[in-house]
């Protein structure tokens, strides 16, 4: 039976990366990875793998502690995922954003979630074009806000890959690598990180590089 268009997606309906790999990807041919990813290949870590989920769908439907939005410097709403989140949250979100005095590229700020299933929205500004240090900072600052606000579950969209023009594959590598480093250093601070993709190409890139940075057993 098809799920209603406006249905909330609970965290219990998602599967973790270990399950995803063994139920969705295990029979696929192993992909060829970029040669310049990291100097040391990440090792299998079941605890960390269980904290990752890959989900394709509408991020505004996820019932998590926080959803991340790819905002602009003014934090006044826009197109793409940011426009969708503002529309779903209602006008109160914009009113709170007006009190935050904008946001620098690579930084992040937090608000309430209002009409969203998510309790909070974390607004981050990704770089225009391929600037890996700024994109990494955007993910790190979102995670920092999660820790500071005791948020245990968070969903990320593909930051900067829309009108900001960051190449999808390269952005996926930065996102996944940054999350892996964070979880290695802070294995008990966050319970679940959901990589939320909308486009099929993004899903393929995440499937490919999650196998590298979060190797299954």
pLDDT, average across residues 23-29: 80
CB-facing half-sphere around the CA of 200: CA atoms within 13 A: 0
Regarding pTM above 0.75, the answer is yes
Question: 137 burial class (0-12, 13-18, 19+ CB within 10 angstroms)?
Answer: buried
Residue 39: predicted pLDDT: 59
Residue 3: predicted pLDDT: 40
- For 22-36, b where at least 16 C-beta lie within 10 A, e where not — what string? eeebeeeeeeeeeee
pLDDT exceeds cutoff 60 at 211 = yes
Structural domains in the chain, sorted by start: 52-213 (3.40.220.10)
pLDDT tens string 105-131: 999 999 999 999 999 999 999 999 999
Local confidence band at 4 (pLDDT 50, 70, 90 cut-offs): very low
C-beta of residue 145 within 8 angstroms of C-beta of residue 103: no
DSSP alpha helices (H): ranges in 31-167? 46-49, 80-89, 91-97, 132-148
Give me the helix-helix angle, 200-213 and 168-185, nearest 10°.
40
């Amino acid at each position: 039976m098809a799920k209603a268009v406006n249905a909330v997606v609970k965290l219990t309906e998602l599967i973790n990366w270990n399950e995803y790999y063994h139920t969705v990807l295990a029979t696929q041919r192993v992909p060829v990875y970029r040669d310049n990813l990291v100097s040391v290949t990440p090792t299998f870590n079941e605890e960390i793998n269980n904290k990752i989920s890959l989900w394709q769908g509408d991020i505004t439907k996820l019932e998590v502690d926080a959803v991340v939005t790819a905002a602009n410097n003014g934090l006044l709403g826009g197109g793409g995922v940011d426009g969708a989140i503002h529309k779903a949250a209602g006008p109160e979100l914009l009113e709170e954003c007006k009190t935050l005095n904008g946001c620098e590229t690579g930084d992040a700020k937090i608000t309430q979630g209002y009409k969203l299933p998510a309790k909070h929205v974390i607004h981050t500004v990704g770089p225009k074009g391929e600037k890996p240090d700024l994109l990494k900072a955007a993910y790190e600052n979102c995670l920092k806000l999660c820790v500071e606000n005791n948020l245990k579950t968070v969903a990320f969209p593909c930051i900067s890959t829309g009108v900001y023009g960051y190449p999808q594959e390269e952005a996926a590598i930065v996102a996944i690598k940054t999350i892996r480093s964070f979880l290695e250093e802070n294995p008990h601070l966050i319970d679940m990180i959901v990589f939320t993709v909308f486009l099929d190409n993004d899903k393929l890139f995440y499937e490919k590089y999650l196998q590298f940075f979060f190797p299954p057993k």
